[in-house]
Structure 1
Amino acid sequence: MLTGVRIVFLGGDARQIEVIRKCVEMDATVSAAGFDKWDSPCEGVSLGGMSAELLDGADVLVLPTVGCDDEGHISAKYTEEPLQLLTEHIEALPSHCTVYTGMAKEYLKRLCAQRGLELVELLDRDDVAIYNSIPTAEGALVMAIQNTDFTIHGSKAMVLGMGRTGFTMAKSLQGLGANVTMGVRKQDHYARAEVMGWSPFMTDQLLEHVKDVDYIFNTIPSLILTAKVISQMPRHTCIVDLASAPGGVDFRYAEKRGIKAMLAPGLPGIVAPKSAGMIMAGALLQSISERILVKGDKQ
C-alpha cells in the first residue's frame, strides 16, 4: 500500500490514466495536471493546473513515458493547455522526491541533477522492456498486414536486431508461419537464433539477404537499411521500423523506389494503452515500494 505517499502526475496519454488508477487503488494521495479533458476522471484524484504549488510536498513526480523535450514541454493528450516543466517547478519539489519517466532527455536529467533529485527511467528496466515488446510486436504485425496484399504465413520475414523487441517479433512471426531470418551483430545471438529455428546472419552481410525478402522489421537504432541495401529489395517489400527515432531506414530512398517503409514509435501506447499502462504501473509501484522499504530501514 502507498498510504501517505503523495504522487503528482504531469501529462501523458491513456497509459498514464491506467497508472493513475492503480496508484489510487493503492491508497496514494494523487494529484495531476494536464487532464482537464479527461472524460471520466477516477474518484480520488485531485486535478489542477501546472504550478509550483502543485509540486510542493510531492514524494513522487511522474512524467509521461516520453518524458519532456529539450525545452521542458510535456506531451499531454487530455488538455489543450501547454504543459512545460521549468526550473521553478523542479525547485518546488522536496529533496526526497523521486522523479519517474519512461525515458529522459538531457534537459530533464540536468534539472534533476541540479536539484539533487533521483531520476528513474522505467524503460531501462528489463522487465518493462520485455513486457512492452509484446504490444510492440502485435502492433507491428497489424501495420504489416494492413499495408500488404499477401499473408505473413509462408512469407520471408526478416528481423534486424535480437534484443528484447527483436526476439519477441521473430517469435510472433514464427508463430504465424513465416520463414524468419534474423540479422544479428553478436555470435551468441547467432547461436540463439539458430536454436530458435530462425535463419541467422551477421548484419554486415545484410546486402546478401534482402533480395527476396517480403517483410523487414528493424529494431536497430542506427542507419542499417541504407539506399544501397534498399536498392536490392523487391518492390513489394514492407518495412516496419521499430527502432527509436529517427529509426534505421533511409525513408527518402525507400519512397523513391516505391517501397513501403513506416516508422512506428510508441506502439504499446497506441495499440494497447491499457496493457501498456498496467506494465508501467506495475514497475512504478514496485519501484516506489522498494524505495519506501529502503528509507524505512535507514530510519
Structure 2
Amino acid sequence: MLTGYHVAVMGGDARQIEIIRKLHAWDAHVYLAGFDQLNGSFTECTDLDFSGPHVEKLDAIILPIAGTDDQGMIDGIFTNRMIALETDWLKKTPKHCQIYSGIANKTLKKIVKDANRDLIPLMDRDDVAIYNSIPTVEGTIMMAIQHTDYTIHGSKVLVLGLGRVGMSLARTFHQLGAKVSVAIRSDAGKARVFEMGLTPVDMREIDSYAMDFDYVLNTVPAPVVNASIIKKLPSHGLILDLASKPGGTDFRYAEKRGIKAILVPGLPGLVAPKTAGNIVANVICGELQKSKRKVEE
C-alpha cells in the first residue's frame, strides 16, 4: 500500500487513467495536472497547485510515456494547455522525490539532473518493454490490415531491429504466415534470426539488398529507412515506423515516391490503453512501495 504517499500525475493519454486508478487502489494521495477536461471523473483527486504547499509533499511525479518535448513541455489529451517542467520547481520537491517517465530525452534528463532528483525511464526496463510489446504487436497487425489490400499471410516483411519489440514483431508476423527478414548489425543478432527460422539481413549492407517487401516495420530510432531503401520498394509497400519521434524513416522521400509511410509511436496507448496503462501502473506502484520503505527506514 501507498498510504500517506503523495504522487502527482501530469498529462499524458488514456494510460495515465489506469495509473491514477491503481494509485487510488493503493491508497496514495493523488494530485493531477493536465486533466481538466475529464469533467470531474476523479473527484477524490486534488488539482496540483504548482505554487502551493502541495509541491513540498510530493514523493513522486509521474510524467507521460513520451516524457517532455525538447523544450521541457508536457502534453496531454485531456487538456488544451501545455505544462512546463522546470528545474527550479522540481527543487521545491522533497529530495527523495522520484520522477517517472516512459522515455527520457536530453532535455528531461538535464532538468531532473540539475534539480538533483532521480529519474526512472520505465521503457528502459526489460519487463516493461517486453510486456508493452504485446499491445504494440497487436496494434501493428491492425495497422497493417487497415492500410493494405492484401493479406499478411504470404507477404514479405522486413523488420528493422531485433530488440524487445522487433523480436516480438518478427515472431508474430512469421506465425501469421509471412516471409520475415530481420535487419540486424551484430553476429549474435544474425545467429538469433537464423535460430528463429527467419532471414537475416545485414544492416550495414542493407543498401545492396533487393527491397521487394510488402511491409517494412522499423523499430530503430535512427535514420535507417532512407531513400536508397525506399526507392527499391514496390509501389504497394507499406512502412510502419514504430520508433520514438521523429522515427527512422525519410517520410519526405516516401511521400515523393508514393510509398505509404506512417509514424506510429505509442501504439499501446492507442490500441489498448487499459492494458498498457496497467502494465506501467503495476511497475510504478511496485517501485513506489520500495521507495516508501526506504524513506521510512
Same fold, judged at TM 0.5 (above): yes
Range with greater deviation from structure 2 (208-217 or 18-27): 208-217
Partner of 2:288: 288
Equivalent residues of 1:8, 1:58 under 8 A apart: yes
Are the aligned partners of 1:65 and 1:101 in contact in 2 as well (CA < 8 Å)? yes
1:243 corresponding residue in structure 2? 243
Q: Match for residue 255 of structure 1?
A: 255
- Do the aligned partners of residues 274 and 113 (structure 1) sit closer, same or farther apart at CA in structure 2, a change above 3 Å counting? same
Point out the more displaced range, 264-273 or 109-118. Answer: 109-118
Q: Displacement of 1:226 after TM fit? A: 1.7
Q: Pairwise mapping of residues 1-299 of structure 1 onto structure 2 (< 5 A)? A: 1-39=1-39, 41-42=41-42, 44-296=44-296, 299=297
Say which SS state the counterpart of residue 246 (structure 2) adopts. Answer: coil
TM-score (norm 2): 0.93
Choose 21-30 or 33-42, whichever is displaced more: 33-42
Q: How many residues are paired up?
A: 297
TM-score (norm 1): 0.93
Cα-to-partner distance string for 1:54-104 (whole Å, 9 max, x where unaligned): 322111111111122233321122122332223442122111211111122
> RMSD across aligned C-alpha pairs, in angstroms?
1.8
Tell me the amino acid that sits aligned with residue 46 of structure 1.
T
SS of aligned partner of 2:281 = helix
Q: Secondary structure at the match of 1:261?
A: strand
Tell me the distance in 1 between the aligned counterparts of 2:98 and 2:139: 32
Separation in 1 of the partners of 2:2 and 2:206? 51
Of 72-81 and 20-29, deviating more is 72-81
2:75/2:81 contact within 8 Å kept? no
Question: Could you tell me how far apart the structure 2 residues matched to 1:69 and 1:284 are?
Answer: 22
1:143 Cα shift? 1.4
Moved over 4 A (4+): none
Would you say the 8 A contact 2:185–2:203 is kept in 1? yes
User: In the alignment, is the contact (CA less than 8 A) between 1:67 and 1:102 conserved in 2?
Assistant: yes
Q: Deviation at 1:108?
A: 2.7
3-state DSSP of counterpart to 2:254: helix
Q: Tell me if the contact between 2:8 and 2:48 (Cα under 8 Å) persists in the aligned partners.
A: no
Cα distance in 1 for partners of 2:103, 2:76 equals 16
